[in-house]
Amino acid sequence: MQDLKLYYMPTCPYCKKVLTYMELNKIQIPLKDTLENSAHRKELLEIGGKTQVPCLVIDGKALYESDDIIKWLKDNWRRTW
């Protein structure tokens, strides 16, 4: 099982796209709201060198871009997680 976290902002349309995909596919991973929590924004900056959202962190490595995140989830998500 991989360590996953999704950094997002509720007002971001690209984040909403990823969150909608996750909801439709019953994917539950820890969510980190960078708008409401400045500590999450700082974590994201330390991990990936920027505060761009959405960002899926996979075992400490940042993956940006909503389409890339959705593709990764399609290819890698296991319902047993």
What's the pLDDT at 1? 62
Residues 6+ apart with CB under 8 A from 53: 7, 8, 9, 12, 14, 15, 34, 44
What's the pLDDT at 80? 44
What's the pLDDT at 6? 98
What's the pLDDT at 78? 73
What's the pLDDT at 77? 84
Neighbours of 65 (CB within 10 A): 15
Ordered mean pLDDT values, 10 residues apiece, the chain (81 residues): 91 98 95 97 96 96 97 82 48
Which residues are 61's β-sheet partners? 58
Q: Does domain 4-76 have CATH number 3.40.30.10?
A: yes
What's the pLDDT at 79? 54
